[in-house]
Amino acid sequence: MWKWLHPYAKAEKSYALSGKLMPWFLAVALPTFVVGIIWGLAFAPADYQQGDSFRIIYIHVPAAMMAMGAYSTMAIAAFIGLVWQIRLAEMTVAATAPIGAVYTFIALFTGAAWGKPMWGAWWVWDARLTSELILLFVYLGIIALYNAFSDKVLAGRAASILTLVGVINLPIIHFSVVWWNTLHQGATITKFDQPSMATDMLVPLLIMIVSFAAFLGFMVLYRFRNEILQRESHRPWVIALVQQSSSSVNKRG
């Protein structure tokens, strides 16, 4: 029943499938971004306590959520790569890490720019902030470890193991606002209750979350294809691809 999946263990097939999927992710990411950002910045009502500073939420929360989403993806891929020795899964880990790192950086930076006017400090050693900072370091560690080996099979394995070790940080980040007395506020959307947010504010936030998720998917596919091309650069199909693109450039020039 699941045999149709088999051909996709072949890099060439996965490369083609990713290429086909990429425009769809972009087709979701771009319109939702435009709508979400205009709605969030100009049309959502100002918060009764925080005024217009709360508008930072429309990048802060999606970035933070998808930073963790990216990590979960990597963890699943790392597990698959290690257990079933599928090197494409390990390439996914390597492809996703930089995007996760950028999202984590965005979450931290926008949080600081929001914290300064609201808390009076750019940074506090609060449990949520500290665990998120550790997530950034874990991401950077994975990227550095992957780049430290010239043998990419070994690199993929090492990065996957580190990814699985770092999973422990995910529940800590999520529950940090429950387990400790934090300056950072508690969950607004991801809880077993109605979201504690007005609908006019919530809808653009959900749209931005969709946008960040779709963009993450797009970038993962793009980097995944880069990863495949680099590792398979001696294979005939990559050589054919390069020759095709160079001949089309020559014709144009």
Residues that bind other proteins (CB under 8 A): 41-46, 51-53, 55-56, 59-60, 63, 98-99, 102, 105-106, 109-110, 113-114, 116-117, 215, 219, 222-223, 225-226, 229-230, 233, 238-239, 242-243, 245-246
Rounded least distance, CB 190 to other proteins, Å:
21
Rounded least distance, CB 58 to other proteins, Å:
9
Rounded least distance, CB 123 to other proteins, Å:
14
Which residue lies nearer to other proteins by CB, 29 or 138?
Answer: 29
Which residue lies nearer to other proteins by CB, 52 or 168?
Answer: 52
Rounded least distance, CB 173 to other proteins, Å:
19
Cα 220 to chain centroid distance, Å, stands at 8
Which residue lies nearer to other proteins by CB, 82 or 94?
Answer: 94
Which residue lies nearer to other proteins by CB, 2 or 120?
Answer: 120
Rounded least distance, CB 219 to other proteins, Å:
7
Using only the alpha carbons of the chain, give its radius of gyration.
21
